[in-house]
Chain A
Amino acid sequence: MARRLAAVLTVVLVGSPLLIASSTAVLALGAAAMLLCFLGILAATPVLVGGMVLALGEYTLALWLAGGPPRLAGAVLFGVVLVLLLETADFGRLAHRATLGPGLLAAQIRSWAVFAAFAGVGALVASTGANVTSAAVRLPWAPAVAAAGAAVALVGVALALSYRRLPPRA
């Protein structure tokens, strides 16, 4: 069940950039991403991550080819699908060849739905806020500031996670 859901999410993930720009390059990248994602759902998370990386490349290419104003709602949906795909595929592998307790799948689907709703709304609010702020405040060297911000965010996340991975002190 979880694997089927992950497969559907893969199709959505790979298919949505084609709605933005349906070119041969996007299609080829999408096909490769879909293959890796399906393999990853069945085999291992790193393969799935490889497929998702390709899907992000496909999305970027489609945006670059299409041009035009930012499509924030679509981006939020794409991000939510990314998270759900990772979690459903991981759960599918966990539930493979295991006895599932009563109500487990329903509880899991409920949890994913609630998270998707919260994450979607949260991301929309944050992106709208950022949009308004960027219209009001014009920063010099905006791309450099964005890059630095992204790097700082990533380092912060990595540090937080590595701190959490430390073994407990005696």
Chain B
Amino acid sequence: MTMRLTPLALSVVTVCAWGLVLGVLSGRAELAVVVLPLLLGLLRIGRTVAAREWSLARALSAPRVFEGERVTVTVTVSADGPVPLLELFEPLPPTLRLVSGHNRGLFTLGPGRSVEWRYEVECVRRGRVNLGTVHARFWDRAGLEAGETSVRLPGQLRIYPRPLPLRRLPGPRRMQAFVGNYVAPSLGEGLEPGDIRAFVPGDRVRHVNWRASLRFRQLFVTQYHQERNADVVLMLDTLAEAGAAPATTLDASIRAAAALVTGYLARKDRVGLIEYCGPFRWVRPSSGRAHHERLFEALLRADVMFSYVTQDVALVPRRVLPPQALVIAISPLIDPRFERALVDLAARGFDLVVLSPSPIPVVRRAMRPSARADLACRLWALERRARADALHRLGITIVDWDPAESLEAALGGLTPSRRRGVVR
């Protein structure tokens, strides 16, 4: 670390010069005397040795958090030798907002001493945040000289998307073979009574329906609906986004995806994720806690990536997009490439629901209100409605969702209609 003069030294020289000029012009000896302490102050330059006799260590209160949660950053400064004045600055990425304390600190340390510096940040937006570099500036006591260096400290923070509250989920039309929480149309082992039939040898006695048997004087058994799980594939549109961070349509889409992932995995369904950013990136459907983390990791790195590539849905393997799966596409429907993919999916007979976080209110909130903006938004809404109608005519269900409103309310209208249309 090399010590350099600060602008303060130049200021001292300027005042000195002006004092001497005034002294010569006025012929008063006092002004020469006034300058003397300033010149004596300059003699301190070069006396401070900027030795690297200090070290830093950083600790985070939690390495993995959700959006909106707070993290306390603790930096410990230890000194082997005397440190007159050490300024530390930790630049914060835009995904973090300072809540309490300061991300800049000034310290003085004696030999063998250490001091803890704490500040609290709020995690505004999802992502992997690397609190990597601490910038240090070493000052002399007078502030006439300073040396700068940077210290790389490991400290990665993972901010997962905040799942939106969601109690009711769109039910799948087709079930899979594994045990789950959906009452399947087929009869077998389960809890939900389905039908009554005459007893045949091999039926279990505990399934005998005694009330019906006494009434008809013949043994009857109760049959039950099987309880099955479903495959749910979330298809996320990362081709384009609208609005200002941290409230873009992609942010809303990812929060909705996080809520759906959490909800379906809690129901023991197998959940997969396909990110469509031109090419496809996917996570195969599976279930369990480890898979929950895998999906959240995938959501963490989901971002808009410009690409001229347009891959066909046919390229997605069957194990990633099983034929009986419920596909929930989450898209603001800005890029026509995603609409083409939706049409392709519908043509292949997938059980398809489109959740569309509307970009219009998101953009309006980021803009200054004006008559021109109103007109543009109205035209945009008309165009959007025309495109949605075209998709609807192809049998695709579209749920329009204003991200400022509840996701549950948006999906609430969808659930009963899908129940009525359950394929048996």
Binding site for B on A (CB under 8 A): 45-46, 48-49, 52-53, 56-57, 59-60, 63-64, 70-72, 74-76, 78-80, 82-83, 86-87, 90-91, 94-95, 97-104, 107-108, 111, 115, 118-120, 122-123, 126-127, 130-131, 143, 146-147, 150, 153-154, 157-158, 161, 164-165, 167-168
Decide: A122 and B36 in contact? CB cutoff 8 A: yes
Q: How far is the CA of A52 from the CA of B40 in the complex (A)?
A: 18
Minimum Cβ distance to chain A for residue B40 (Å): 5
Q: Are B34 and A53 in contact (CB under 8 A)?
A: no
CB distance from B99 to the nearest CB of A (A): 14
CB-CB under 8 A for A59 and B24, given A94-B143, A98-B87, A154-B16: no
Say if the beta carbon of B115 comes within 8 Å of chain A. Answer: yes
B82-114 CB mask vs A (1 if < 8 Å, else 0) is 001101000000000000011011111100000
Q: When the two chains form their complex, are residues A64 and B15 in contact, meaning their CB atoms are under 8 A apart?
A: no
Partner of B109, one of A46, A83, A101, A161: A101
Given contacts A123-B36, A157-B42, A164-B5, contact A150 B26 (CB under 8 A): no
Contact B41 A56 (CB under 8 A): no
Assembly CA distance A94 to B40 (angstroms): 23
A64-B26, A99-B102, A115-B142 are contacts. A150–B34 as well, Cβ < 8 Å? Answer: no
- The contact of B8 among A87, A157, A168, by CB within 8 Å, is A87
Taking a contact as CB atoms under 8 Å apart, the answer to whether A157 and B34 are in contact is: no
Q: Which of B5, B7, B23, B77 contacts A45 (CB 8 A)?
A: B7
Residue on B nearest A40 in the bound complex, by CB = B11
User: Are B13 and A99 in contact (CB-based, < 8 A)?
Assistant: no
Which residues of B are found within 8 Å of A57, using beta-carbon distances? 22
A101 with B107: CB separation less than 8 A = yes
A70 to B14, CA, bound (A): 24
Q: Is the CB of A100 within 8 A of B105?
A: yes
Q: With A and B bound together, what is the CA distance between A130 and B19 in angstroms?
A: 17
A-B contacts besides A94-B139, A157-B39, 11 pairs, CB < 8 Å:
A49-B11, A49-B14, A49-B15, A70-B28, A95-B106, A99-B102, A101-B77, A120-B37, A122-B40, A123-B33, A157-B13
Task: Say whether B31 contacts A146, CB under 8 Å.
Answer: no
Binding site for A on B (CB under 8 A): 2, 4-42, 44-46, 77, 84-85, 87, 101-102, 104-109, 115, 117-119, 139, 141-143
Partner of A127, one of B12, B20, B36: B36
Docked complex Cα distance between A94 and B160 (Å): 36
Task: Tell me the bound Cα distance from A130 to B368 in angstroms.
Answer: 70
With contacts A86-B8, A90-B143 taken as known, whether A118 is within 8 angstroms of B46 at the C-beta atoms is no
Chain B residues with CB under 8 Å of A115's CB are: 41, 44, 142
28 A–B pairs (Cβ distance < 8 Å), ordered by A = A52-B15, A53-B15, A56-B18, A56-B34, A63-B26, A70-B29, A75-B34, A80-B37, A87-B142, A94-B106, A94-B139, A99-B101, A99-B118, A101-B105, A101-B108, A103-B108, A111-B141, A123-B36, A126-B36, A127-B33, A143-B24, A146-B32, A147-B24, A150-B23, A153-B39, A154-B20, A164-B5, A165-B4
- With a cutoff of 8 Å between Cβ atoms, the chain B residues found around residue A146 in the complex are 23-24, 32
B residues less than 8 Å from A56 (CB atoms): 15, 18-19, 22, 31, 34
- Contact in complex: B20, A82 (CB < 8 Å): no
Within 8 Å CB of B19, what residues of A? 56
Least distance between A82 CB and chain B CB atoms (Å): 6
Chain A residues lying within 8 Å of B15, measured Cβ to Cβ, are: 49, 52-53, 56, 82, 86
